[in-house]
Amino acid sequence: KQEVTQIPAALSVPEGENLVLNCSFTDSAIYNLQWFRQDPGKGLTSLLLIQSSQREQTSGRLNASLDKSSGRSTLYIAASQPGDSATYLCAVRPQSGNDMRFGAGTRLTVKP
Amino acid sequence: DGGITQSPKYLFRKEGQNVTLSCEQNLNHDAMYWYRQDPGQGLRLIYYSQIVNDFQKGDIAEGYSVSREKKESFPLTVTSAQKNPTAFYLCASREGLGGELFFGEGSRLTVL
């Protein structure tokens, strides 16, 4: 069964820093991997979707990479801002089954 | 605008009562999902549906029921058999096997 782990569970950085959030998964047989942002009490907002044939995706200050063979993905946030403070979740779509497997998330705080 | 609408946003229930959470999408997506989120945990799949009049149990289906009579709608009923129903419930939808997963804003259920 696919397991998804996110480290660290929480991260606090000063404004302006570049930072990396990590996601690891146990089974490399995936369709895709998706990164989400969740603000307190809200639903999940999709940030980036990486198909299994892709190595990375970029959107603005965000860059997500995927290394299927090692079971890892990273979300790089450039020039962090207080508005980036949220919980970031990664999820993988296994090739077997029709659901997504989620990590528990990394809670990010960016201090002004 | 296209999206997923969940209602109600907040719901209080007495023990022994059934409640139904609504999920409506106008994205024309075939697949719809219900997840449960508890503090500090990843999302857990309750039920999913790939097509009208068909649905499958997820990891934690006990005490829940669903229906999929229309493509746009996927309501979730939390029955009195669910022993610990207080949680944040999230509805999602996806187009196609490799498509992006989109979420609604969530419904918070509290059992008094």
Q: Nearest C-alpha of chain B: how many angstroms from A16?
A: 27
Answer whether B46's CB lies under 8 Å from B74's CB.
no
pLDDT 10s digit of each residue in chain A, 112 long? Answer: 889 999 999 999 999 999 999 999 999 999 999 999 999 999 999 999 999 999 999 999 999 999 999 999 999 999 999 999 999 999 999 988 778 899 999 999 999 9
| pLDDT at position B3 over 80 | yes
Name the CA radius of gyration of chain A, rounded.
13
pLDDT in tens, B33-71: 999 999 877 899 999 999 999 999 999 999 999 999 999
Helix-then-strand count for chain A, H and E: 0, 11
Confidence of residue B106 (pLDDT cuts 50, 70, 90): very high
Instruction: Give the closest of A32, A44, A49 to B103, CB-based.
Output: A44
Omega into B85 within 30° of 0, i.e. cis?
A: no
As separate numbers, helices (DSSP H) first and strands (DSSP E) second, chain B gives 0, 11
pLDDT confidence of residue A17: 97
Q: Is A42 in Cβ contact with B106 (below 8 Å)?
A: yes
A42 neighbourhood in chain B, CB within 8 Å: 105-106
- Chain B CB contacts of A40 below 8 Å: none
What does the pLDDT read at residue B49? 95
Q: What is the pLDDT of residue B1?
A: 65
B residues 49..78 contacting A (CB < 8 A): 50, 56, 58
Average pLDDT, chain B: 93
Is B108 near chain A, with CB under 8 Å? yes
Decide if pLDDT at B32 tops 90. Answer: yes
**Distance separating alpha carbons of residues B112 and B109, to the nearest angstrom:** 10
- Over chain A, what is the mean pLDDT? 95
If pLDDT is split at 50, 70 and 90, which confidence band does B98 have?
Answer: confident
CB pairs under 8 A between A and B: 55
Residue B2's pLDDT is: 73
Query: Minimal CA–CA distance to A52: which of A77, A25, A76?
Result: A25
Peptide bond into A14 cis (omega under 30): no
